[in-house]
A and B are shown apart, each in its own frame.
Chain A
Amino acid sequence: MPSFARSLSLGVAICFGSAAALTAPAHAWEPTHPIEIVVPAGTGGGADQMARAVQGIVTKHKLSKQSVVVINKSGGAGGEGFLDVKNSKGDAHKLIITLSNLFTTPLATGIPFNWKDLTPVAMMALDEFILWVNADEPYKTAKDYIAAIKAGPDGKFKMGGTGSKQEDQIITVALEKVTGKKMTYIPYKGGGTVAVQLVGNHINSSVNNPIEAVAHWRAGKLRPLCVFDSKRLDYHDKIAGNMSWNDIPTCKSQGIDVEYLMLRGFFMPPGVSKDEVAYYVDLMKKVRETPEWKKLMNDGAFNQTFMSGDQFVKWVADAEKLHEGLMKSAGFLAKK
């Protein structure tokens, strides 16, 4: 029954969506003033880039009669942005783009917010994580690197990452479980900085997203060891030398049983109607069809899963449980 209800509501959403796309009938909801996309992170980061890409695509292809406005609310690890959307009950002209701080921020800081306070719209893509080392290091595979960590004392290997108690550090803790050795985790402000710190040998490894490190990989400065996904990346173009994204093995195959993907999706404030959500689901579908979007996905080697409706809700609920478990075992939960 639940699966039937899910597929039904999904079907309804799609019907609404495609109907709106074709004829825009009078009963379908349309925005009446500019649409705001809240970015719970600073300007220049991955979420910000994606929000601005969506803004540019919607504007260029005239996908919406109303303009799209992007605003950054990065205070308190994005908590400010989430609280703002949570408190804009019923505002159908507001979207928020999420990164993992949708889960990590309330857990780590105790900011009174949960994704259930929002209305899920759609998953646009999943961002991959890759284990990188400096190309001058002797480790050719993840197995070599793990063996080196195991052989060294606690804290010898330095892992750089974005932010504290967020996705990068969660992966680091998971790695520590595999190796049984502590790593020294050093938080930086942005992924680009982390990649450069790795090139400059100030840290030993990073778990950068593909787009953050690809330039240094191509320049022969960094080496990808493995990808934290269940399967290899589905991009076969040669990137560096004769390597493509697809040539990077999964971490699991290297004996590191860690999987982690970061949600890039849209949510709306609570208390919005089905029609309003359907409008945005449809809008995002149209965005995904554009060549600009496809190029962005290709450049960043994103996992292009798209979800909306109940399927998305279920995914988010599972992801929250995963984060709670990981953060609890890492001791990252805020003291109540």
Chain B
Amino acid sequence: MLQDIANLFHGFAVVAQPFNFLLMVVGIVLGVIVGVLPGLGGANGIAILLPLTFSMSPTSAIIMLSCIYWGALFGGAITSILFNIPGEPWSVATTFDGYPMGQKGKAGEALTAAFTSSFVGALFAVIVITLVAPLVANFALRFGPPEIFSVYFLAFCSFVGLSKEPPFKTIASMMLGFGLGAVGLDQVTGQLRMTFGFPEMLNGFDFLIAVIGLFGIGEILLTMEEGLSFRGTAAKLNPKVVFQTWKILPKFWLLSLRSCLIGCWMGISPAGATPASFMSYGIAKRISKRGHLFGTGEIEGVVAPETAAHAAGTSALLPMISLGVPGSPTAAVLLGGLLIWGLQPGPLLFVEQKDFVWGLIASMYMGNIVGLLIVLTCVPLFASILKIPFSVIAPIIMVFCAIGAYTVHNNTFDVVMMVVFGIAGYFMKKTNYPLAPMVLAIVLGDKAEEAFRQSLLASQGSLSVFWSNGLVSTIMTLGLIALFWSQIQSGWNRLRAAHKGLRPAE
């Protein structure tokens, strides 16, 4: 342990070298740009910038790349809050309350809350990595297909359940999402599904295209219907907004802690940041006193998913380093980088490449702090984007949406689909079909199905595999509890009310 701390300080010394520090700042800025531009995103951005780092030492290279990663994580929240366009799957849940906050003129607050929560989540995860890395590294090994499926199951259950919309509309929307997610190649049998011989359909419907269309384009159409303005233009630009928001945030310490734990757990058990963000949002909605207001612009609805997503995104680097299993697509590209620099990720990396590992961990601390400072100083700048007149910003958003949709698979057909999704999103929103369950289903549906079928392959068709050991049974049970939470809660309330002789509160 003492040895580790000495190593960590050595790592700080490595990171604090002027050249490395400069790379860090460059990396963060590049990362924010990459995160904001739709279609570049963390994974693509790092893949694109990877060759730049070949001429550096591995330590410098990983410092720069991981800072791009942090930057992209921070940047993803910006478009979600300002334009309802999440650039990464784990930013989807941030739009639910972040965008309404922006609409109410509270974009600055939402951005500050998002950035600060990202920071808290990431920092928590780094501390976990520093302190207990050797202990938790092997936790991921216990996750076979049934365990992975149970995690997705829990994510669905904690998110679904209570919805204000008519239940059959929620079901239709969610199931449609599953259906769309299934289009393309079936991973388990290698068969093509529902492509009907069209080469354009081979890709299936990527979540990003659906989300850009449903949320981004759909929102522009709604705005047009209501007259030409983003309602956010009313936002007063206040440089002090950061500090004002910081005064409120400590109130949510319990929420943050819970989200951090969810995030770390999801990140280490390589399920990733996306289920973490949805799960954290869903649970916060259930537990919070203001839960019924979620979706209308609650700051808690920004804190919960952002904290969890970044705790997960950061802790996902642990299984990557120690086992060579990437917890996210971005981590997968970083992993490729490690191999190209001649570093073998795996249990021995901690022993043989101390400089590198502790340099990376130290850069996580420093990168986060530097990143937070950079993005927070830019909050007023980002928020002022909403002041640009609608007739100028709308076509530019449209162009960036199109670029984002194109770069997913480098396919112009996806751009067409984006517009189709946009129109569908407009009509669905107007007729009260909730879009969030649909997006959740597109994002996680095929992964969940794959894990389910892998499990059954291994168990030769027996469903009992989902209750075969303590770990998977616990997660499945938690899922069931989450699914029937509202019934459990109302039952509990009724019990208590009966006890007190009062009518249960709605």
Q: A–B direct touch, CB within 8 Å, in complex?
A: yes
Is B54's beta carbon under 8 Å from chain A? yes
Please give, as numbers and ranges, the residues of chain A lying within 8 Å of B43 by CB-CB distance. Answer: 43-44
Is the beta-carbon distance between B199 and A73 smaller than 8 angstroms? Answer: no
Nearest 7 Cβ contacts at the A-B interface: A215-B346, A76-B202, A44-B332, A75-B203, A164-B190, A202-B144, A200-B141
Is the beta-carbon distance between A215 and B140 smaller than 8 angstroms? Answer: no
Is the beta-carbon distance between B457 and A216 smaller than 8 angstroms? Answer: no
Within 8 A of A (CB), among B431-447: none
- Beyond A80-B199, A200-B143, A215-B346, whether A44 also contacts B50 by CB under 8 A is no
Within 8 A of B (CB), among A56-82: 56-57, 59-60, 70-77, 79-80
Please give, as numbers and ranges, the residues of chain A lying within 8 Å of B339 by CB-CB distance. Answer: 49, 211, 299
| Interface residue stretch chosen among B212-220, B322-330, B387-395 | B322-330
| Interface residue stretch chosen among B181-189, B223-231, B492-500 | B181-189
Please give, as numbers and ranges, the residues of chain B lying within 8 Å of A202 by CB-CB distance. Answer: 144-145, 458
Residues in A lying within 8 Å of B, measured CB to CB: 42-44, 48-49, 52-53, 55-57, 59-60, 70-77, 79-80, 83-84, 108-111, 155, 158, 163-166, 184-190, 192-193, 195-197, 199-200, 202-203, 211-212, 214-216, 218-219, 221, 292, 295-296, 299, 332
**Cβ-neighbour of A218 out of B195, B319, B348 (below 8 A):** B348
Is the beta-carbon distance between B203 and A80 smaller than 8 angstroms? Answer: yes
Is the beta-carbon distance between B410 and A73 smaller than 8 angstroms? Answer: yes
Can you pick out 15 interface pairs between chain A and chain B where the beta carbons lie within 8 Å of each other? A43-B47, A49-B340, A52-B47, A52-B50, A56-B340, A75-B203, A109-B191, A164-B186, A165-B190, A186-B457, A189-B187, A200-B141, A200-B143, A200-B144, A215-B324
Q: In the complex, which residue of chain B has the Cβ closest to the Cβ of A68?
A: B51
Is the beta-carbon distance between B344 and A197 smaller than 8 angstroms? Answer: no
Is the beta-carbon distance between B140 and A196 smaller than 8 angstroms? Answer: yes
Query: A-facing mask of B118-144, CB < 8 A → 1, else 0?
Result: 000000000000000000000011111
- Beyond A80-B199, A295-B342, whether A43 also contacts B347 by CB under 8 A is no
Is the beta-carbon distance between B141 and A196 smaller than 8 angstroms? Answer: yes
- Beyond A76-B184, A218-B346, A219-B348, whether A296 also contacts B190 by CB under 8 A is no
Within 8 A of A (CB), among B306-356: 319, 323-326, 329, 332-333, 335-336, 339-340, 342, 344-349
Interface centre among B54, B204, B335, B349, by most chain A C-beta atoms within 10 angstroms, is: B54
How far is B138's CA from A200's CA once the two chains are assembled, in angstroms? 9
How far is B324's CA from A219's CA once the two chains are assembled, in angstroms? 12
Is B460's beta carbon under 8 Å from chain A? yes
- Beyond A43-B47, A56-B51, A75-B202, whether A164 also contacts B347 by CB under 8 A is no
How far is B336's CA from A48's CA once the two chains are assembled, in angstroms? 8
Is B473's beta carbon under 8 Å from chain A? no
Please give, as numbers and ranges, the residues of chain A lying within 8 Å of B54 by CB-CB distance. Answer: 56-57, 59-60, 292
Is B424's beta carbon under 8 Å from chain A? no
Is the beta-carbon distance between A76 and B203 smaller than 8 angstroms? Answer: yes
Is the beta-carbon distance between B203 and A44 smaller than 8 angstroms? Answer: no
**Cβ-neighbour of B344 out of A42, A77, A155, A214 (below 8 A):** A214
Instruction: For the A-B complex with A56-B340, A196-B141 known, give 16 more contacts whose Cβ atoms are closer than 8 Å.
Output: A43-B44, A57-B54, A75-B185, A75-B202, A75-B204, A80-B202, A110-B192, A187-B454, A192-B325, A192-B335, A196-B140, A196-B325, A200-B141, A200-B142, A219-B347, A219-B348
**Cβ-neighbour of A80 out of B189, B348, B411, B454 (below 8 A):** B411
Please give, as numbers and ranges, the residues of chain A lying within 8 Å of B411 by CB-CB distance. Answer: 73, 75, 80
Interface centre among B184, B202, B410, by most chain A C-beta atoms within 10 angstroms, is: B202
How far is B44's CA from A76's CA once the two chains are assembled, in angstroms? 20
How far is B51's CA from A108's CA once the two chains are assembled, in angstroms? 34
Is the beta-carbon distance between A155 and B460 smaller than 8 angstroms? Answer: yes
How far is B410's CA from A76's CA once the two chains are assembled, in angstroms? 14
How far is B319's CA from A200's CA once the two chains are assembled, in angstroms? 13
- Beyond A43-B47, A109-B191, whether A215 also contacts B202 by CB under 8 A is no
How far is B192's CA from A195's CA once the two chains are assembled, in angstroms? 26
Please give, as numbers and ranges, the residues of chain A lying within 8 Å of B50 by CB-CB distance. Answer: 52, 56
Is the beta-carbon distance between B47 and A70 smaller than 8 angstroms? Answer: yes
Is B290's beta carbon under 8 Å from chain A? no
How far is B188's CA from A219's CA once the two chains are assembled, in angstroms? 30
**Cβ-neighbour of A192 out of B326, B342, B460 (below 8 A):** B326
Please give, as numbers and ranges, the residues of chain A lying within 8 Å of B335 by CB-CB distance. Answer: 44, 192
Please give, as numbers and ranges, the residues of chain B lying within 8 Å of A188 by CB-CB distance. Answer: 454
Is B292's beta carbon under 8 Å from chain A? no
